[in-house]
């Protein structure tokens, strides 16, 4: 209900009166405001509304409407303990909605909803998003003065846009956050809100402008290490057995093996499809001196640099 320093209200009026008759003419929404310092005590039933505030514009019965009502229009005070004590601003208010006809007759009130009076901080500046191998890094300028709390929201736009959800609560002095819970190549939007108060008195600022980014994976896995080449045993045409340490990387798809003859600059890939394991046999090798290297490839096609080459001579 609170949106920054305003009440965000929406409604749908009834097309019929409480006795079932159809309503005629235009009706206008009216707020009932009940100040309280005891938020756990419900409003007694069948009591007069202490303050009524017309909002919105008149509409047909059964129509929908919405309005953002600034808190300045709704200032509520609680009487002081005695004549010598001034009235104080109520820390909470119960809010209900009804509709008034052209004769200003107000219908039945909706159930009361509790809303805090805590002043909301100003909205933070938009974060800046950068893709890193670990995830999306978000950065923003330090806020002065810092709010008690910052709340980061994230929404995902695939396959259909989803509502923004709280991602993390941060200290008001925070200026960065690393989102490691992303799905690569998905599209995300981030906003920040400043938070004041606690418990039932907590309120959020309006959101910062959103920053949207596609978490494109352009980060190759590390190169294979400790590549070894040995002459395969047995009769027949010469063959070279290659092996290397498995690469530890998220979403690894497999490996490629390359060969070049001594003195040549061009590397030739030997495998037609990605190798699922860190071994390969190069069969039918002609006599000569060769260099071999291996690479790792992830599911997005990012290929690592070639490993340190190893040389072998076939006689």
Is the model's pLDDT at 20 over the cut of 90?
no
pLDDT at 221: 96
Q: Which two tokens stand for residue 238?
A: 């010469």
Q: What share of the chain is helix, strand, coil (3-state, %, to 5)?
A: 0, 45, 55
Is the model's pLDDT at 51 over the cut of 90?
no
Average pLDDT of the chain to the nearest whole number: 88
* Reported confidence tier of residue 78, pLDDT bands at 50, 70, 90: low
Is the model's pLDDT at 81 over the cut of 50?
no
Q: Which CATH class is domain 128-214?
A: mainly beta
Closest of 96, 23, 30 to residue 60, by C-alpha: 23
Sequential DSSP letters for 53-79: EE-S--B-TT-EEEEEEEGGGG--EEP
Q: 117 with 160: CB under 8 angstroms?
A: no
Q: 191 with 208: CB under 8 angstroms?
A: yes
* Reported confidence tier of residue 260, pLDDT bands at 50, 70, 90: very high
| pLDDT single digits (tens) 178-237 | 999 999 999 999 999 999 998 888 999 999 999 999 999 999 999 999 999 999 988 878
Q: 242 with 158: CB under 8 angstroms?
A: no
Q: Which two tokens stand for residue 122?
A: 């100003």
pLDDT at 82: 47
| pLDDT single digits (tens) 84-134 | 555 566 788 888 888 887 777 777 888 888 888 888 999 999 999 999 999
Residues pairing with 308 in the sheet: none
Q: Which CATH class is domain 228-314?
A: mainly beta
Is the model's pLDDT at 9 over the cut of 80?
yes
pLDDT at 272: 95
* Reported confidence tier of residue 69, pLDDT bands at 50, 70, 90: confident
pLDDT at 96: 87
Report d(CA 202, CA 214) in Å as an integer: 32
Cis before 166 (ω within 30): no
For the chain, the structural domain boundaries read: 6-116, 128-214, 228-314
Report d(CA 230, CA 223) in Å as an integer: 20
> Average pLDDT, stretch 53-60?
80
Q: How many other CB atoms sit within 10 Å of the CB of residue 275? A: 18
């Amino acid at each position: 209900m609170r949106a920054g320093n305003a009440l965000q209200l929406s409604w749908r009026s009834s097309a019929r009166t409480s006795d079932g008759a159809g309503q005629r003419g235009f009706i206008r929404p009216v707020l009932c405001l009940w100040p309280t310092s005891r938020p756990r005590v419900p409003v007694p039933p069948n009591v007069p509304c202490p303050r009524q505030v017309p909002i919105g514009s008149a509409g047909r019965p059964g129509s929908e409407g919405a309005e953002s009502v600034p808190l300045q229009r709704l200032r509520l005070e609680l009487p002081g303990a005695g004549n010598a004590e001034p009235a104080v601003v109520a820390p909470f208010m119960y809010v209900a909605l009804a509709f008034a006809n052209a004769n200003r007759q107000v219908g039945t009130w909706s159930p009361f909803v509790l809303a805090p009076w805590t002043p909301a901080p100003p909205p933070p500046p938009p974060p800046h998003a950068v893709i890193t191998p670990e995830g999306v890094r978000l950065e923003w300028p330090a806020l002065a003065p810092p709010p008690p709390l910052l709340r980061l929201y994230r929404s995902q736009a695939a396959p259909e846009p989803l509502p923004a959800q709280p991602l993390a609560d941060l200290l008001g002095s925070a200026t960065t956050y690393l989102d490691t819970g992303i799905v690569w190549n998905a599209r995300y939007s981030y906003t920040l809100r400043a938070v004041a108060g606690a418990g039932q008195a907590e309120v959020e600022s309006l959101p910062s402008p959103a920053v949207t980014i596609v978490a494109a994976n352009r980060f190759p896995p590390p190169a294979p290490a400790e590549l070894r080449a040995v002459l395969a045993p047995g009769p027949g045409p010469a063959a070279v057995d290659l092996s290397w340490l498995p690469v530890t990387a998220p979403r690894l798809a497999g490996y490629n093996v390359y060969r070049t003859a001594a003195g040549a600059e061009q590397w030739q890939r030997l495998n037609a499809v990605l190798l699922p394991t860190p071994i390969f046999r190069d069969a039918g090798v002609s006599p000569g001196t060769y260099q071999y290297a291996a690479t790792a490839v992830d599911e997005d096609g990012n290929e690592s640099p070639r490993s340190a080459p190893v040389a072998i001579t076939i006689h």
